[in-house]
Amino acid sequence: MAVPMPDHDVAGDARRVFECVRDGGVAIIHLDVAYAVLARTEEAVRGIYGAKNRSYAKPTGIVANPALQEELHVLGDLQREMIRSITRKHDLPLAVIAPYRKDHPLLAGMPPFVLRNAVKGDTLNILLNAGTLRERIADLAVEAGVLFVGSSANASLTGSKYRLEDIDPVVREAADIEIDYGTSKYVNGEGRSSTMLAFPDYRVQRVGVCFDEIARVMKDEFSITLEPPA
């Protein structure tokens, strides 16, 4: 699991980001997989998409902690065990795409545009184990009964950014607050971010960081072979 970052005021930074986004602002934050941008309101989400030049056909992800992920996603016991093994036992980041509870009260409280833009068909995407700062922010949001959405902090199709100073100026200009914790843990030369795995069919939506380790867990512990997209 994510560990505290002793050189940073994670609790204080998480609180500042939470308050900014709760009140309609946009935040750029450090994640272990790459820098990300967070928002909550329709205006803020539209601002992010405009700055990134991102198609609305590509949804955002829900910012949730592990407990809320298990509440929101409709999964069997074995599938929940798989996710726990990858993200907790083996301490790997994973974006989980799965059917969701449409009647969950926290989803009902989201602005309609933001909710529509965070789901694709009958599924939604939740990134897990991506760093202590993001986990603290998710905890604060869930405790307050509000949900944030997130996306990678880069212009569309330019690859993930692992240092704040490498993020496109137009994207940074859209942010009301930035949290710089230096280089992301999983920096790589391919511009990869999190691995995305869709349930219940174990389809690899995106090969990202730690894919080989995730595939090994699925094979060794659950006899599931993950096939990268063609």
Amino acid identity of 86?
I
* CB-CB contact of 142 with 70 (8 Å): no
Q: What is the DSSP string of 177-213?
A: EE---SS-TT--TT---B-EEETTTTEEEE--BTHHH
- Which residue ranges of the chain lie beneath pLDDT 70? 1-6
Report all structural domains of the chain as residue ranges with CATH numbers, in order of start: 11-222 (3.90.870.10)
Nearest to 100 by CA among 66, 127, 75: 75
What digits encode the pLDDT tens for the residues 41-90? Answer: 999 999 999 999 999 999 999 999 999 999 999 999 999 999 999 999 99
| pTM for the model | 0.93
Q: What is the DSSP string of 61-90?
A: EEE--HHHHHHHB---HHHHHHHHIIIIIS
Write out the two tokens for 109.
Answer: 């409280």
Determine the Cα–Cα distance for residues 62 and 166; give it in Å rounded to an integer.
Answer: 24
pLDDT at 6: 60
